[in-house]
Amino acid sequence: MAVYVDDAVHSWRGQRWAHLLADTLDELHAMAARLGIPRRAFQNKASGAHYDVPAALREEAIRLGVVPISRHTDRDLLKRLIANARLQARVVAD
């Protein structure tokens, strides 16, 4: 099992943001807690269960063992992760 962080490409409020995703919700919440991200920041959306991570915190996540993925070179993996995140969001919502 693993936790992943994509490229920090989304601009919002003057920062670049990435998405923290995981194979399981337990792993996702545990890593967010290690990074100091509050549980209230959890994004349980139809687009997929995830946390938004500012670019600076992305580097800390990688240092802690999170697997960096690229929207440019890891397309198949990213598609699987997003599909899994969408399933996780449904499970939590049901």
pLDDT-above-70 percentage for the chain: 90
SS3 53: strand
Look at 11-20, 26-35, 37-46 and tell me which has the smallest mean pLDDT: 11-20
Supply the pLDDT for residue 63.
96
pLDDT in tens, 44-61: 877 788 899 998 899 999
Indicate the number of domains in the chain.
Answer: 1
Q: Does pLDDT of 5 surpass 90?
A: yes
Mean pLDDT, residues 17-38 taken together: 94
Domain containing residue 18:
3-93
Look at 10-19, 31-40, 42-51, 57-66 and tell me which has the smallest mean pLDDT: 10-19
